[in-house]
Amino acid sequence: MAPAAASTDAELILAILEHEDRKAFAELVTRHQSKVRTVLRRLTRGDIALADDLAQETFVLAWKNLARFRFEARFSTWIYRIAFNAWQSEARKKREVNLEVDDDALPAGSEAYDELPDIAARLDLERAMATLSDGERAAISACYYADLSHEEAAVALGLPLGTVKTHVLRAKAKLRARLVSRKG
Amino acid sequence: MISNDGDRLDRILRRDARATIGDDGFTMRVMNALPLPSPARYAARRAWLKPVLVLGSTALGSALAWLFAPDGVNAAQGMVDLVASRGLTPAAITMLGMTITLLIAAIVIAVDTD
């Protein structure tokens, strides 16, 4: 039985768990690939090849561990947690990932930047994102690109809620400053 | 979801996050990377197949034997002949053969631990 495009994530997951339905899983991947790959591109500082490798690893791990999925949470929250773990594991192979709060001073904010009118501005944002610390980038990726609440982001990243909020505030302050300095 | 809609940076980030990435074969790539179905699960899914094959072929053999048996042979007569200890009549032999065949098939299925 082919999975209907209108099926909910939960219905697709049940089909996978009961019948090992690969078509249902393909539908899940199609639905979530864009967001997962976007989040991972932000986390990997725009390394598209690495981000896609990690996204593939994320979905394969989701397939293997789907029986552990608890239906209280959204599937997207669960898959982002796997994606964040995959990114952290990969980053640890190269260097120590530091998700703790940095003590560097916050740059002064300003409102003198445009709102991404073109590709160049988007690249500016991508470059500005790349300058954030691991924790700040992870927090921004979770809260904006993965569309998670602060609480969900804290769970997905395995960080205290307060740390996530601090990361978001600091990241936004840095981004403001970077975008202003590029414009200026 | 960040609630401060008035923040311009929020809007910038949200707008950037809304940009979608086309699939471009990514789903197929993931599906090709999935592990193959486990042999145990594959076998379990087809556990019904063996009994159906054994019993089906036995039933078919019995039906053919009955079809090509001499005239006047029928199951009821065969049962009557067996009960009356007339085991060498055509009906009794046919009935006995079918019973033994079905019994063997049942034993094969029962002792099959695969």
Q: Which residues of A touch B30 (CB under 8 A)?
A: 26, 29, 33, 56, 59-60
Nearest CA in chain A to B10: A144
> A102 touching B, CB under 8 A?
no
Residues forming CATH 1.10.1740.10 domain(s) in chain A? 9-94
DSSP labels for B43-90?
HHHTTTHHHHHHHHHHHHHHHHHHHTSPTT--HHHHHHHHHTT-TTSH
Least confident piece of the model among A158-162, B48-52, B98-102: B48-52
- Architecture of the domain made up of A9-94: Orthogonal Bundle (1.10)
Q: Look at A38 and B12 and tell me if their CB atoms are within 8 Å.
A: no
pLDDT over threshold 80, residue A170: yes
CA angle B15, B18, B21 (to 5 degrees): 135
> A115 touching B, CB under 8 A?
yes
d(Cα A32, Cα A140) in Å, to the nearest integer? 19
Confidence (pLDDT) at B44: 66
Q: Which residues of B touch A (CB under 8 A)?
A: 1-2, 7-17, 19-23, 26-27, 29-31, 33-35, 37, 41
- Architecture of the domain made up of A119-183: Orthogonal Bundle (1.10)
A43-53 pLDDT per residue, tens = 998 889 999 99
More confident residue, B96 or A107: B96
Domain ranges of chain B: 39-111
> A30 touching B, CB under 8 A?
yes
Interface predicted TM-score (ipTM): 0.78
Provide, rounded to the nearest whole percent, the portion of chain A with pLDDT above 90: 48
Least confident piece of the model among A142-146, B6-10, B56-60: B6-10
Q: How confident is the model at residue A55 (pLDDT cuts 50, 70, 90)?
A: very high
Residues forming CATH 1.10.10.10 domain(s) in chain A? 119-183
Residue A133 Cα, gap to closest chain B Cα (Å) = 17
Find the CB nearest B12 among A59, A115, A147.
Answer: A115
Diameter of chain A by CA atoms? Answer: 58
